[in-house]
Amino acid sequence: MQILAPDGSTVGDPDVGLSTERLREALRWMIVARRLDRECIALQRQGELTVYPGFEGQEAAQVGSALALGADDFVFPTFRELAVALVRGVDAVRYLWYHRGTWHGGPYDPRATRFGPICIPVATQVVHAVGYAMGVRKDGSDAVAIAYVGDGATSEGDFHEGANLAAVFGAPAVLFVQNNGWAISVPTRDQTAGEIWKRAEGYGMPGVRVDGNDVLAVYRATAEAVTRARRGDGPTLIEAMTYRIGAHSTADDAGRYRDDADVERARAFDPIARFRTWMLAEGRVDEQAVEAFEHDADAFAGSVREGLVAQDPPPAEWMFDWVYAEPPSILDRQRREALG
């Protein structure tokens, strides 16, 4: 599925059901997300974050899919969905506590924004999304769960188990694969011999492949999947084709396994440039507004930096505070030993 060609011209119906206001919101989030992503890489270089996994090039896949979700829908992310988190209203400083080494998982309140803990064990969150979807269905809610994974995650057993369970139970879930071409150093062609979206048929659910750098197409594909799930017609597998412009993380040296020329070629498919071109040509936004978005993005990145560097290391009590609801006496003894 594609609506916007890389040059910003349309190859499909651009009326995906988003008002001009929402389209501007999408562009703004993409610009803000990229700016914050670059700020995070700088913060890591300056020692303010530990390892940081960038997502440049995946802004359309993340913002487009996130905008298709309702307030009650629940996101089960990987560690690379900062743009989704921003759209969901997750506090960016709290989110980045994770990458600052302040706390694990979801230092924000995952229930308040319905954005689950950052999940590193590959594909394990797929099953959580499916369980959550089964659970809300039992309560008669029409809420939907969405699991984000990468192309590499589709090789994991938990991806298969989650997909199979979702289909068997007709769970209101969306399995959203961002195929960014790379699982650290392994290209998709060495990860899987087939096409990921086509596996859906074997599971007994619809599968769709979408241009992941086309925010309109991503929005439409996700909105259709969410609608299907909401009305009780079960899960959908979406494969969004995108490209990881940066390295796997700040600890990675992508030059060891891919050519810079490939990355430069991929930049021609940039999701923000394409959408901005179309928005300007359509008169949905003007240059002044885009400049204002960029200014907002700078200010936002600055405020996140400020909030983050002000964060002191957490108290050592935190190691003990949430291991159990009520600490057993055997752990209390250790707590006293550790804290003196």
CB of 55 to other proteins, least distance (A): 21
Closer residue to other proteins, CB minimum distance, 23 or 129: 129
Query: Is residue 315 a contact point for other proteins (CB under 8 A)?
Result: no
Closest contact distance (angstroms) between CB of 62 and other proteins is 21
Alpha carbon 296 to its chain's center: 21
Single residue of 135, 204, 206, 307 touching other proteins by CB under 8 A = 135
| Percent helix, strand and coil across the chain, each to the nearest 5 | 50, 10, 40
Kind of pairing between the strands at 182-183 and 186-187: antiparallel
| Catalytic residue status for 231 | no
Q: Per rule CB under 8 A, is residue 145 in the interface with other proteins?
A: yes
From the candidates 244, 276, 284, 305, which is the catalytic residue?
244
Question: Which of 50, 155, 164, 192 forms a contact with other proteins (CB under 8 A)?
Answer: 164
Among 104, 231, 265, 267, binds other proteins (CB under 8 A): 104
Binding residue (CB under 8 A) for other proteins from 7, 72, 109, 306: 109
Query: Does 142 sit near other proteins (CB under 8 A)?
Result: no
CB-CB contact of 77 with 65 (8 Å): no
Q: Which stretch binds other proteins (CB under 8 A): 4-12, 156-164, 223-231, 287-295?
A: 156-164
And the tokens for 173?
Answer: 């879930």
170 touches other proteins by CB under 8 A: no
Listed in order, strand segments (DSSP E) in the chain are 74-76, 145-150, 173-179, 182-183, 186-187, 207-211, 236-241
Cβ contact 97:169 at 8 Å = no
Report the interhelical angle of 59-67 vs 20-45 (nearest 10°): 130
Using alpha carbons, select from 216, 192, 243, 201 the residue that is nearest to residue 11.
216
- Nearer to other proteins among residue 131 and residue 307 (C-beta): 131
The three-state secondary structure class of 297 is helix
Distances (CA, A) of 81 to 58, 100, 131, 150: 9, 16, 20, 11
Nearest CB to other proteins, comparing residues 261 and 324: 324
* Stretch of 160-168, 206-214, 231-239, 264-272 contacting other proteins, by CB under 8 A: 160-168
Which residue in the list 24, 257, 258, 335 is annotated as catalytic?
257
Residue from 85, 88, 237 nearest 176 by CA = 237
88 binds other proteins (CB under 8 A): no
| Residue whose CB is less far from other proteins, 92 or 247 | 92
Q: Smaller CB distance to other proteins: residue 113 or 180?
A: 113
Number of Cβ within 10 Å of residue 267's Cβ equals 12
**Residue bearing tokens 């009590």:** 317
Q: Counting contacts by CB under 8 A, is residue 50 touching other proteins? A: no
52 belongs to the catalytic site? no
* Closest listed residue to residue 114, CA positions, set 77, 80, 65: 77
Q: What is the rounded end-to-end Cα distance, in angstroms, of the chain?
A: 61
Q: Is 136 in the site for other proteins (CB under 8 A)?
A: yes
Which segment (159-167, 177-185, 187-195, 238-246) binds other proteins by CB under 8 A? 159-167
Residues that bind other proteins (CB under 8 A): 74, 76, 103-107, 109-111, 116-117, 121, 124, 126-136, 138-139, 145, 157-158, 161-162, 164-165, 168, 318, 321-325, 328-331, 333
Q: Which residues are annotated as catalytic?
A: 244, 248, 257
